[in-house]
């Protein structure tokens, strides 16, 4: 396990500070409650932060990636079928918009399954990468360099 950076405390120490001191004559923990594992809490918190970061990142991509794709399409405009270039740019816009909308809506849900949400984001990112790579494979063989 990684040690916390200088100036930061580990989650175990934070949880120990937040817990009230045991009262004499009273059991330390309710037997019906499940003890909380600090590592599990930290992993869940990190997954949530990762998903929030991906959501912020996904908000910018539907603007930036299509602009770059349009530049690539402009370069390949005379070398590849124009309908193919337009469909490629539109496919990128659709996948990136779906990824952005999914992440913002999922983040608002109180019953979010963070593992499933992260898998969905990875799948949508993979689709984006495949479409971008497909454009390279489709357009550049016809270019005269």
Domain spans of the chain? 46-142
Q: How confident is the model at residue 18 (pLDDT cuts 50, 70, 90)?
A: very low
- At residue 125, the pLDDT reads 92
Closest CA to 49 of 121, 119, 114: 114
Q: Please report which helix (H) or strand (E) contains residue 34, including its range.
A: none
- At residue 77, the pLDDT reads 86
Separation between Cα atoms, residue 121 and residue 131, nearest integer Å: 15
pLDDT tens-digit series, residues 78-115? 888 889 999 999 999 999 999 999 999 998 888 889 99
């Amino acid at each position: 396990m990684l040690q916390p950076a200088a100036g930061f405390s580990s989650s175990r120490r934070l949880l120990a500070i937040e817990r009230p001191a045991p009262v004499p004559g009273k059991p330390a923990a309710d037997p019906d409650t499940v003890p909380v594992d600090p590592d599990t809490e930290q992993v869940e918190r990190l997954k949530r932060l990762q998903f929030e970061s991906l959501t912020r990142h996904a908000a910018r991509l539907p603007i930036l990636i299509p602009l770059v794709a349009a530049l690539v399409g402009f370069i390949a405009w005379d070398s590849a079928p124009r309908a193919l270039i337009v469909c490629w740019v539109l496919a990128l816009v659709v996948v990136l918009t779906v990824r952005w909308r999914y992440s913002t809506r999922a983040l608002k849900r109180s019953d979010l399954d963070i593992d499933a949400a992260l898998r969905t984001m990875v799948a949508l990112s993979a689709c984006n990468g495949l479409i971008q790579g497909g454009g390279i494979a489709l357009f550049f063989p016809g270019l005269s360099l």
